[in-house]
Structure 1
Amino acid sequence: MGASKAVDPERNFAPPTYTIKELRDCIPKHCFERDTLRSFSYVAYDLCGVAALAFAAAHIHVLPAALRAPAWILYWVCQGVVATGLWVLAHECGHGSFSPSITVNNVTGWVLHSALLVPYFAWKHTHSQHHKNTNNMNRDEVFVPRTKSFRGLQGKRSTPAWIEDSVFEDAPLYHVAQVVAQSLFGWPLYLYRNASGPKYARGASHFNPSSVLFRPEQFSRIVVSDIGIALVAATLVYASWVFSPLAVLFYYGVPYLMVNFWLVTITYLQHSHVNVPHYNDDEWNFVRGALSTVDRTYGRVLDVCMHHIQDTHVAHHLFSQMPHYHAEEATRHLKMKLGKDYNYDDTNVFVALYNTMRRCQFVEDTGSILFYRNTSTPVSS
C-alpha cells in the first residue's frame, strides 16, 4: 500500500500505511496465546464480585434509614461496573480470544451474555462486521457518522452559514439529555431496532432470525440466542413473583442499566473523536480502520474492573483474538511502533462524553477521508 498525501492540511493528517504483519511482528508472540483456565479465573473473580455485592445489598435494610438510599446507589454503581467486566469476558468469547476451543467460547459466551440480556450469536455476528469494517462510512455497524445532509444542514438557502456551523453549539441541556438517553437506552434500542447501525439495516432487529442483519444459514443460531434471552427473562419474571418486581429492579434492573451505560460509552468514545477519521471505500482498509480507534483510560480501578477494554482498544481492533490479559503489554509495543499514529485521550470519561456528543455531530457528504465537524470549544477536564 503506497503512502497517501495529507488530505487535511489543518490537521496535517496522512493516512497510516502500516501492514497488519508489520504491526503483528512488533508484538511478542506470547501475547497471542490463549489460556482457557486463566480466562475462567477472571469469570470466577467477577462472579464472586457480583455475589458479594448482592449479599451486601441484601443487608442494606439493617442500615440507618438515612444511609439506605446512598447504599443502594453505591451498589448499583459497583454492580454495574463488575457486571460490565462479565460482559467484556462474554465479548471475548465472541471473538474467540477466551479459549482456543470454539465450543468453550460459544457456551461460555452464550451463558454470560444471555444473563445480561444480550443475544450472543446475533451480536457476535454484527460485532464481527464492525471489526471487519471499523470506521468505514458505508459498511461499519455502529456509530456511523451522520452526514451534513442527513442532519438537514445541507443546501438550506434560507439558513445562514454561521447557523449551519453552530446549530448544535450552545445547548448544554440538549447534549446532556442526549448523553443520558444514548447511554442508558442506546444499547437495547440497537439490539431491538439497530439504532445507530448502518443504513441498509435500520429498523432491523437482532432478535429476528430472518433479519437482513443475518445470513439464512445463521437462522438456528439466532434462535438459540433468543432462547437464552427468553430463559433469563422468564427467570426475572419468576423472581418478580417470588420476591417482588421492586426487588428485581433494585438487584438486577438498575445494574443492567449501568452495564448499558458503560458498554455504550466505551464503544462510542472509542470510535468518535474530532481528530479521528472515518473513511469512504476508496481510502479505507482494515489497518486504517483499526487505527482509527481511540484508547482511553477511565482510571486504574475501572480499567482493571473492565479488563482494560477501554485502554487497549487499538490492540483489540487490530488483533481481536488476543486475550485481554496480554493487551496491555501489546499496547506498549504498538505505541512505540505507531508513534503519532497511536490515538490516546485521557480526558475524564464524563467530560469526554459531553464534549464528544457536543462536537461530533456530522461529517461532510463527500470526501474520501472525513472528520467530524468541530462546532464548539471543548470543556477542560
Structure 2
Amino acid sequence: MSSTQTTTTTEKVYKDALGRDFVPPDFTIKDILDAIPKRCFERSLSHSMLFVLRDVFYSSTLFFLATNIHYLPSVYLRFAAWTVYTIAQGMVFTGFWILAHECGHGAFSDYRLINDIVGWILHSTLLVPYHSWRITHSKHHKATGHISRDMVFIPKQQERYLQSRYITELAEEAPIMTLYFLLVQQIFGWPAYLAVNVTGQKYNVPFYKLSHYLPSAPMFDAKDFWDIIISDVGIALVSTLCYLAIQKWGVANFVLYYFIPYLGVNHWLVCITYLQHTDASLPHYDASEWNFARGAAATIDRDFGFIGRHVFHEIIETHVAHHYSSRIPFYHAEEATVAIRKVMGQHYKQDKTNLLVALWKSARTCQFVEGDGVKMFRNGNGIGPKPVYMSLKKKE
C-alpha cells in the first residue's frame, strides 16, 4: 500500500500510521499568532517565582517527612513510604526541570539574566547542563518536524530501520522487543541524549564528540563556548555536592533521597517529550514540504490530570501552543491553546489516553517514517497500512 493517494484535485492525501487521511495544514504562523490574545504573551517575574517557591516548599516538605520514615515500626511500611517519597519527589523535581525549561525559553520573566540564573540553578541541581540544552532545544523549536534539521526524537527512516534485519524480524512478532525498547529509552534515554546525542541528528564525527558537555560538539557554534563551560561548571559543582553528601550520609541515603527521584525525572522527561512528538497521527517533513507552521502542528497535547496541570506546569496539556510561541508562560498557555484551536481545526492534535498506555501504543505503532515530502509513521507489527518494504517482500 502506498503512503499517499491523490485526489481529483492536486491536493495529496496521506495515510497516517492507523490508515486515517492526513492533509498537511495550510494556515500560516501569522494566522496562529494573530489569534492568540496579547495578554498571553505577558510574563511576570513575581508570578513565576511563586511557582519556584511553591515547588521548593513541596520538595522540602517531602524531604522532611522522609527523614522520619525510619521511625515507622514495620519494614513494609518503611518500604511503602520510601516508594511514595521517591515517586512524589521525582515528580516535584520534574516540576523544577520544567520551570528551568521556561527560563531557557525566556518565558519565565522579561529579564534574561534572571532567567538564566534561575534556570542554571534549577537545571544544574538536576545535573542538566542548562545552556547546552537550552541551545539545542531552541534549534529543535526552530525546526520541529523537519526530518533533517530537528534536534531530538528524529524518527528512523525506513532505510535505517531495515539496516538490522534481525531486529526488524523480531519487532514484527515480539511485543517483548517493544518492552525492551521502552525500558532502555525510559532509563537511559535522557542521559544518553546529553552524553552522545542519542535520537538527535546524525553528524559525521565519532559518537563521543556529540556530547552536550563539549563546546566543540557540532550542535554548537563558536559563540556558544562560554555558555557550555558555564553549564559544565554547574554540573561539576552539583556533582561535588553529591560526592560530599555520600561521604557524610552514605550511599544508601543519597540514593533514597536524591538519586532515585533523579531517575524519576529522567523517566518523566523522556515520556513527556517522546509522546509530544510521537503519535500515529503525526507527520514529519523534508525540506520540500516543511514550514514552521506545519512543524509546530506536528506535535500533540496529552493529559495527565492533576499531576500534569499542577505539578508539571501544564507542559503536557499545552505543548502545541508552546511550539507556536515558546515565550508564552505556562500559566497563559491554556488560554492560548483555546485560541489556536479555532485556527488549526482538525490539525490540532490531542489525545487523553493514559500516558503509560499511550507510551506502549506509540512504541508499537511508530517505529519509523516513510514517504516523499510528507513522511508518516509506519511499523513492522501489522498495525495500520503496510510499509513499502513489507509490500515488496510479499511480492517477492
Q: TM-score band (shorter)?
A: over 0.9
Say if 2:180 is the partner of 1:177.
yes
- Of residues 39, 46, 53, the one that matches 2:48 is 39
Taking structure 1 as reference, are residues 372 and 299 closer, same or farther at Cα in structure 2, changes over 3 Å only?
Answer: same
Report the counterpart of residue 309 of structure 1 in structure 2. 315
Counterpart contact for 1:169–1:358, Cα < 8 Å: no
Counterpart contact for 2:308–2:315, Cα < 8 Å: no
Counterparts in 2 of 1:354-369, with a 5 A limit? 354-364=360-370, 366-369=371-374
Q: Which moved more, 1:199-208 or 1:338-347?
A: 199-208
Q: CA deviation at 1:336?
A: 2.6
Q: Name the SS for the 1:139 alignment partner.
A: coil
Structure 1 stretches of 4+ with a deviation exceeding 3 A read: 374-378
Report the counterpart of residue 98 of structure 1 in structure 2. 108
Report the counterpart of residue 149 of structure 2 in structure 1. 139
Counterpart contact for 1:96–1:102, Cα < 8 Å: yes
- Of residues 81, 105, 109, the one that matches 1:71 is 81
Report the counterpart of residue 32 of structure 2 in structure 1. 23
Say if 2:245 is the partner of 1:236.
no
Taking structure 1 as reference, are residues 151 and 134 closer, same or farther at Cα in structure 2, changes over 3 Å only?
Answer: same
Taking structure 1 as reference, are residues 200 and 153 closer, same or farther at Cα in structure 2, changes over 3 Å only?
Answer: closer
Deviations 1:206-245 (A, max 9, x none): 0011111111111111000000000000000000001001
Structure 2 spans left out of the alignment, 5+ residues: 1-8, 385-396
* TM-score computed with the length of structure 1 as normaliser: 0.93
Say if 2:90 is the partner of 1:80.
yes
Report the counterpart of residue 344 of structure 2 in structure 1. 338
Counterpart contact for 1:43–1:86, Cα < 8 Å: yes
Q: CA deviation at 1:274?
A: 1.4
Structure 1 spans left out of the alignment, 5+ residues: none
Report the counterpart of residue 351 of structure 1 in structure 2. 357
Say if 2:279 is the partner of 1:273.
yes
Deviations 1:174-220 (A, max 9, x none): 21221121112100000001011101277200001111111111111
Percent identity between matched residues is: 44
Q: CA deviation at 1:153?
A: 5.9
Taking structure 1 as reference, are residues 201 and 136 closer, same or farther at Cα in structure 2, changes over 3 Å only?
Answer: farther
Question: d(CA) in 1 for partners of 2:204 and 2:58?
Answer: 38
Counterpart contact for 1:194–1:201, Cα < 8 Å: no
Say if 2:194 is the partner of 1:191.
yes
Q: CA deviation at 1:65?
A: 1.8
Question: d(CA) in 2 for partners of 1:244 and 1:293?
Answer: 43
Counterpart contact for 2:31–2:343, Cα < 8 Å: no
Report the counterpart of residue 377 of structure 2 in structure 1. 372
The one-letter code sitting in structure 1 at the alignment partner of 2:376 is: F
Q: Which moved more, 1:295-304 or 1:210-219?
A: 295-304
Question: d(CA) in 1 for partners of 2:62 and 2:114?
Answer: 27
Question: d(CA) in 1 for partners of 2:49 and 2:383?
Answer: 45
Q: CA deviation at 1:263?
A: 0.7
How many aligned residue pairs are there?
368
Taking structure 1 as reference, are residues 188 and 262 closer, same or farther at Cα in structure 2, changes over 3 Å only?
Answer: same
Deviations 1:272-315 (A, max 9, x none): 11111000000001110000000000122333210000010000
Counterpart contact for 1:50–1:82, Cα < 8 Å: yes
Counterpart contact for 2:146–2:290, Cα < 8 Å: yes
Counterpart contact for 2:308–2:316, Cα < 8 Å: no
The one-letter code sitting in structure 1 at the alignment partner of 2:269 is: L
Report the counterpart of residue 293 of structure 1 in structure 2. 299
CA RMSD of aligned residues (A): 1.9
Q: CA deviation at 1:329?
A: 1.1
Say if 2:18 is the partner of 1:13.
no
Question: d(CA) in 2 for partners of 1:201 and 1:110?
Answer: 30
Q: Which moved more, 1:170-179 or 1:327-336?
A: 170-179
Q: Name the SS for the 2:378 alignment partner.
A: coil
Deviations 1:240-263 (A, max 9, x none): 001001111111100000000011
Question: d(CA) in 1 for partners of 2:97 and 2:333?
Answer: 17
Q: CA deviation at 1:151?
A: 1.5
Counterpart contact for 2:97–2:126, Cα < 8 Å: yes
Deviations 1:150-182 (A, max 9, x none): 12269x8xx9xxx97x75243222212211211
